[in-house]
Amino acid sequence: MGKWKMVRLGKICKPKQWKTIAATDLDESGYPVYGANGKIGFYHKYTHEHETVLVTCRGATCGTVNVCEPYSYVNGNAMALDNLSAVSHIGFLADYLRHRGFDDVITGSAQPQIIRSNIEKILVPLPPLEVQRQIADVLDRASALIEKRKAQIDKLDLMVKSQFIDMFGDPVANPKEWKVRRLRECLERIENGTSPKCEAFPASPEQQGVLKLSAVTYGYYQSQENKQLLPDTVFDSRIEVKDNDLLMTRKNTYGLVGMSAYVFSTQSGLMLPDLVFRLIPKEIIHRIYLWQLINCDLFRESIKRLAGGTAGSMPNISKERLKTLDIPLPPFTLQNEFAAFVQRVEAQKIQLKKSLELLELNYKSLSQKCFKMEVFK
């Protein structure tokens, strides 16, 4: 880090985990609540009057850095870097921690975590405050472009959801009086895969792997969410994920169980895992229509009610219970028209995602130059 002074993080702030609020205690409005993935809801109290750097300290997103807005409640899944010294600029510190990462302080494999004693030992640079402000300003501008591009992608996703309701109406109330069929009448079959022991890292395009649950969890297919097969594991081509597949999680948390993802395109050599179904529709229902129906906010309760499980276990949807789901079935020509609209929107998203990748590479390059003292000294 050249001539910049280095200090331990615990010397310039007081890392603290605040009391966790249960999801059932969150309010519909009030002060924003920050958890492992940024804002997660609202509460009638706040813990922090001022902006504060937060580091996710539990779970899959362990090590994610956020900055809460003034008058926020910080949940226990995030470590708040309280009482930041005046010698450190909040934006600079957040940017440096994102650049540095936390691989060397994260412990635990099944449940990754960061404990206070480890994070306090991290060394952080302390250039002059003016230099810290300049670096934060440069990286903030680059970050703003990234957030703008993400917002454009989110807007396209919302446009698809709006088009679904415009064309088909509320799928529960069914105001357009479409015919209703049980899902078993709409499917040829339901398949699921296997989850063999794997490496801890994803498969390269030349390697073979198995999807992780997170490849489908949030309603959009993420082929990079996979684990490489061990050298002695036999690849089963019968359950290889293909373009145009319709996937659905059978087991997850209550809020996410039964989420679906349509595979516009995929890396080859990836197998279907045990926790994910592949739905094979008959010709009376379009895969893209069924994908959007399953993920429709108005329809989600119908999906979640299918899930069962014992106390302490993740909810699970069996094939037989899934087949009992009532499905509104508009004319196939209308489904096809909707699918064509979704595919046009997806083409726009692909271009925006390519632009986003370039912006993220630019941010990473700028960050490296800033913290190697190639921009400001």
**Which positions ≥6 away from 131 have C-beta within 8 Å?**
376, 377
Q: Are 98 and 90 in contact (CB under 8 A)?
A: no
* pLDDT for 202: 92
Q: Is the dihedral of CA 125, 131, 133, 137 positive or negative?
A: negative
Residue 52 vs residues 72, 126, 166, 367: alpha-carbon distances, Å: 9, 18, 42, 21
- Phi, psi angle pair for 287, to nearest 5°: -60, -40
Tokens describing residue 37: 């993935």
Tell me the β-bridge partners of 55.
65, 79
* pLDDT for 292: 98
* pLDDT for 180: 98
* pLDDT for 200: 84
Q: Kindly state the average pLDDT of the residues 41-54.
A: 96
Task: Specify the amino acid at residue 100.
Answer: R
Q: Are 351 and 149 in contact (CB under 8 A)?
A: no
The rounded distance, in Å, linking the Cα atoms of 161 and 62 is 31
Q: Kindly state the average pLDDT of the residues 258-279.
A: 96
Question: Taking 90 as the threshold, does the pLDDT of residue 82 lie above it?
Answer: yes
The rounded distance, in Å, linking the Cα atoms of 365 and 373 is 13
What is the pairing mode between strands 260-262 and 246-249? antiparallel
**355 three-state secondary structure:** helix
Q: Are 214 and 359 in contact (CB under 8 A)?
A: no
Q: Kindly state the average pLDDT of the residues 292-299.
A: 96
* pLDDT for 310: 65
* pLDDT for 28: 87
* pLDDT for 376: 67
Point out the least confidently predicted range of 33-42, 268-277, 280-289, 327-336.
33-42
Tell me the β-bridge partners of 33.
41, 73
Q: Is the dihedral of CA 333, 337, 338, 343 positive or negative?
A: positive
Q: Kindly state the average pLDDT of the residues 224-246.
A: 95
As a whole number, the mean pLDDT across the chain is: 94
Q: Kindly state the average pLDDT of the residues 59-86.
A: 94
Centre a 10 Å sphere on the Cβ of residue 280 and count the other Cβ atoms it contains. Answer: 13
**31: enclosing H helix or E strand:** strand 31-35
The rounded distance, in Å, linking the Cα atoms of 309 and 251 is 10
Instruction: Give pLDDT tens digits for 149-188.
Output: 999 999 999 999 999 999 999 999 999 999 999 999 999 9
Instruction: Give pLDDT tens digits for 182-226.
Output: 999 999 999 999 989 999 899 999 999 999 999 998 899 999 999
Question: Taking 90 as the threshold, does the pLDDT of residue 309 lie above it?
Answer: no
Helices (H), 109-254: 116-119, 129-168, 183-186
Instruction: Give pLDDT tens digits for 318-337.
Output: 999 999 999 999 999 999 99
* pLDDT for 334: 98
Point out the least confidently predicted range of 105-119, 237-251, 314-328.
105-119
Give the CA angle between residues 300, 153, 290 to the nearest 5°.
35
Question: Taking 60 as the threshold, does the pLDDT of residue 2 lie above it?
Answer: no
The rounded distance, in Å, linking the Cα atoms of 258 and 225 is 18
Q: What is the DSSP letter of 200?
A: S
* pLDDT for 375: 67
The rounded distance, in Å, linking the Cα atoms of 147 and 159 is 18
**Which positions ≥6 away from 320 have C-beta within 8 Å?**
none
What is the pairing mode between strands 179-182 and 73-74? unpaired
Task: Specify the amino acid at residue 158.
Answer: L
The rounded distance, in Å, linking the Cα atoms of 234 and 220 is 28
